[in-house]
Structures are given as C-alpha cells and as structure tokens.
Amino acid sequence: MVDHVVVGGGHNGLVTACYLARAGLSVLVLERSAKLGGGSRTDELISGYRFNTHSAAHNIINATGIVEELGLRAAGLEYREMDPFSVAVHRDGGIVRFHRSVERTVESIREVAPADADRYRAWIADTMPIITLMSAGLEAGAGTARQWRRLPARTWAAGQALARNGGPSRLAQLLLSPYGRVLEERLTSDRVRAPVSAFAAHASASPTVPGSAIYGLWQAFYHQVGQWHALGGAQGLIDALARRLESYGGQWRTDAAVTRVIHDGQRVTGVELEGGPSAGSAGRSERISSSCVITAVDPQTALLKLLDPPLAGVGAAQLRATHRSNAVQMLVLLATTTLPAYAQGRPGDWNGLQSYVDAVDSLADGFAQAEAQRLPDDPIPTYAFTPSALDGSLAPPGHHTVYLACPTAPFRVRGGWHEMKEEFAERMIDTVQARAPGFRSTIVGRTVRTPQDMAQELHWPGAHPMSLDVSLDQLGWLRPTRALSGHDTPIAGLFITGAGTAPVGGVAGAPGRAAANAVMRWRRRSGR
C-alpha cells in the first residue's frame, strides 16, 4: 500500500510529489520511460552532444515562486538568463534584438525599423498591466501570504489595464482578437511583428485565430520575467526536483508504465502496471494499492483510457470535446563546429531564440497548411535555440548544439512523415543557410524529430506538448474543463495535473503545485 501515487515523472508530476513529500506524506512517482523528465529531458542524441527533447527555455516557472519554495537552487538547479531573449534575423541580414530591457529593445528596433521603436515602447507599456493580471493565474496553489503580498500590485494593474486599453469593452475586444490583428494595429513593420509572432506561435495558434491575442501580449511577460536556460539543459530542472523529492523522503520508479487506474465506482483503489521484472512471472501485471492517485499525463488519456471504468456522463463528454490543433513542432537537432554566422551578428545574439520568420502572413499560411495536413511552403517558419552558447556542458569544446523548430508542422500529414522527414529537415536547414551563409558546412551530426516521433516517444496525443490547445476556452479555470479545473475528479482520491490542466501548459510547475494543494484540501476534508 502506497499513500500517494503520481502517474508520470514529468516536471509537473515531480512538483506535485515534492510538495506532498515536503508535508511529510509518502509518495511514489511512476514514470513509464527509462528516465524522469518527459518533455523536459536532456539526452545525448549525438555522441558528445546533449539536446533538450523539447523544452528549450524556461520563463513561467521562474514567475511562480516554485523554485524558491522547493529550494531547487540548493538542490543543484542553476539558471542562466537568455538576454537578449530573442533576435530576429531577416533574410537581408538585418537583426532586431529583444532584450529584457524595454529601452534596449526600443533602441535596437530604431536601428532597422525606426517607425516602430516608440510604437513598441507604447504597446509594451499598455500591455504590462494586462500581463501582470494574467500572470496572477500562475500563482495556483501558492500560499496565502504570497497572494496577499501581490494583491496591491494586481489591484493597481487592474486599473491601469482598463485605463491604458480603452476601458472594459475595448479591453474585452482586445483579448478576443487574433494576435495578428493586435500586431497590425500597434506596429507597422514585419521587421518587428514577425518575430513577436514567432514567439506567440509557441502556443500552437495561428495569428488569425480569434481569442489568440494573449499569445502576442505575452511578449511583455518576457520583459518582466526574462527567458532562462537551466545549466545542463532542461534536465537540470528535473534532476533538482528528483534530488529534492529524495531529500523529502519521496520515491520514484522508472520503466514503470501504468496501464490502469482502478476504482470501485466511488473512490480510487490503486494502479496497475505493465508486466516486467518486478512483476513476477513473464507477462504478469503488477498492482499497487493506493487511496490517492495523481495522474500527471494528458487528462483525456488519464480519465478516458487509463481510468477503469473510465469517466462517464456529462463530465466525460466535456473532456472528450476538448481540442488540440494539428499544428505542432518539428525539430531538427544539429551538432555543429560553430554557431550560425550572421553577417550583422553581435555578442549575445545566440543567447535566446533566433527567429527566421520574415512575415506574419507566412506564419499564418503555415498554420493553415498544417490544418489541411500539408507541409508549409518556403520559407518554412523556423526558429533556433543555441543553448551551448550559454552552457559549454552541452557540446565538446569549441562545438555547439543548434535546436531548430518549425511551429507549424502538421501532426497528421498527407503521405505520412516517413517519406518526407529528411527533405523537410533539409528545407529547415536551408532557412538558416540563407541567413548564415556557410552554416550547412559546419554541421557534423543531426537527428530529426518529427511530430510522429515525439508522439510515440513521449506519449503525447497529437504530439501536442501542452496536451490541449491553450485557447481561451481551455485556459485557467476552464482547463481542461470547468468541472476538472480544480484538479480533483468525481472519483474520491483521484486527481489530475500536467500541461493539460489548470492553469496553463509549458514549463510552469503551477499545475503540479495546484494539484498538491487539492490533495491536501481533500485530506483535511476527509480527516486523513
């Protein structure tokens, strides 16, 4: 008998486990892979070169207080700031640099798109209070004292958000708009609009989708919080969480695939694992009894497939109706002898995201093609991270790792990925070559990760890194559904967490902390 079982050893599952173990409760994390981390793993995919499997930069978790509350720095976590957090490298060689400092960003914009310099400053000033309010949702599960400390700033931000954005009706219209429209209204040049859109596209949403404005407005969040690289790659966060869990007395098992979450109709009774060496005779499954199970996987998978019998009734219908787009990420991970040589590059240009998106329209077209199950046309919307520029532990001395991503790759593609993955990878490399002549000759190794590869390896339905779209109808207290946003379920003792649960996806940790809080409330109510 285990008091608390966490199904899934990604960062949210580990955060939940840490908070429960910190409270003195016994916890066991079960991870189906051979290694903890999920989409936040870092692996040596090319001999001598270590790459993040998906997560490339951390910002949200650094705004939640979780790193401090769990003492993760003392557990070995070290972050280095990625500043500038983004640079736009255009085909004609021009570069716009987006720094943590708004003023430094404005001066960079003035060099290549002078008409937008003061416009960008004004837009960020108007957006800052909106983001201050929205980021309050990231405090899910935080202590009361932390919430009270932030109340005055949020109260001020509410007034400023209304005053700066035309009052309630205009603010509502803004939030319901597509982010392409917002950028069209506030900025004049694709020199600036396109790289902002490239960052917004992380949410797997087209700039033409109504209600997507939040993704464009989130640009202000990067100025508030910055972008951060975990030393050693994203695995640095996972390893620190594992050390902290161990220090609190919690446990984990890898190669432990849960096939069933069992209940008696009213309360959860445990989980069943695939047969394996610890299960006794060949093919025999292993059962672990528990009065509390927290699933840290896709909520549809957890409640409609693993749960036996599955969730039924209206709640099941609502969960089944949640949605994810067909546009996800395609990754080309490269080992190189040098960083991409931009003609107008300056020191620091390789610290953060490097955008190769020249026009908002090309990004919108890429999303439209993905929904039609087709590959995007040239130039392929592409961006790069070069984390070895900040972290020499990822590559041999003098060499580098280059993480190329296309945010408009279709999960389902006509003809299938097998026949076109290498050609598509070549086209993505061509996009860099056009901005950094000679780049192709610096490549000494590569691995290609299609959406199909990621879906199979990481067990992500639709290869969606956030499980579900981060749309207005699936965000905050509506994620994954209104009835399930509190992280508890109709089955007593069964809770959900992960990227598909409230408040948001990404490397946030907030869903994990909120789920731990829900478990603690249940324990108090039930006298446990």
Q: Which residues pair with 492 in a beta bridge?
A: 267
Average pLDDT of 521-525? Answer: 95
- Quick check: 201 and 192 in contact, CB under 8 A? no
pTM score above 0.75: yes
Provide the pLDDT for residue 283.
61
Provide the pLDDT for residue 99.
98
**What gap in Å lies between CA 400 and CA 292, rounded to an integer?**
45
Whether omega before 84 lies within 30 degrees of 0, making that bond cis, reads: yes
Least confident of 222-226, 409-413, 432-436, 472-476: 472-476
Least confident of 85-94, 152-161, 217-226, 432-441: 152-161
Determine the straight-line distance between the first and last CA of the chain, rounded to whole angstroms.
15
Provide the pLDDT for residue 369.
97
**Which amino acid would we find at residue 256?**
A
- Quick check: 331 and 449 in contact, CB under 8 A? yes
Quick: pLDDT tens for 355-378: 999 999 999 999 999 999 999 999
Q: Is the pLDDT of residue 280 over 70?
A: no
Quick: pLDDT tens for 50-85: 999 888 899 999 999 999 999 999 999 999 999 999
The angle at the Cα of 483, spanning 478 to 489, to the nearest 5 degrees, equals: 125
Confidence of residue 139 (pLDDT cuts 50, 70, 90): confident
Q: Is the pLDDT of residue 277 over 50?
A: no
Provide the pLDDT for residue 281.
47
Tokens read off for 288: 């672990």
Domain ranges of the chain: 4-79+234-323+464-526, 83-225, 325-458
What average pLDDT does the chain have?
A: 94
Is 173 strand, coil or helix?
helix
Q: Residues, the chain, total?
A: 528
State in words which class domain 325-458 has: alpha beta
Residues whose CB falls within 8 Å of the CB of residue 328, separated by 6 or more in sequence, listed in order: 204, 370, 407, 409, 410, 411, 451, 454, 462, 463, 464, 465
Quick: pLDDT tens for 412-462: 999 999 989 999 999 999 999 999 999 999 999 999 999 999 999 989 999
Quick: pLDDT tens for 282-292: 567 899 999 99
Quick: pLDDT tens for 342-359: 999 999 999 999 999 999
**What gap in Å lies between CA 295 and CA 492, rounded to an integer?**
13
Quote the strand ranges of 49-125, DSSP E: 49-52, 79-81, 86-89, 95-98
What count of other Cβ atoms lies within 10 Å of the Cβ of residue 500?
Answer: 32
Give residue for tokens 């007034």: 159
**What gap in Å lies between CA 190 and CA 212, rounded to an integer?**
18
- Quick check: 43 and 53 in contact, CB under 8 A? yes
Give residue for tokens 């892979």: 33
**What gap in Å lies between CA 261 and CA 276, rounded to an integer?**
18
% of the chain with per-residue pLDDT over 90:
89
Whether omega before 340 lies within 30 degrees of 0, making that bond cis, reads: no
Is 495 strand, coil or helix?
strand
Tokens read off for 58: 């951390």
Average pLDDT of 463-478? Answer: 92
Average pLDDT of 486-496? Answer: 97
The domain made up of 4-79+234-323+464-526 has a fold known as FAD/NAD(P)-binding domain (3.50.50)
Is 407 strand, coil or helix?
strand
Confidence of residue 145 (pLDDT cuts 50, 70, 90): low
Quick: pLDDT tens for 10-41: 999 999 999 999 999 999 999 999 999 999 99
The angle at the Cα of 147, spanning 146 to 148, to the nearest 5 degrees, equals: 95
Tokens read off for 528: 């446990």
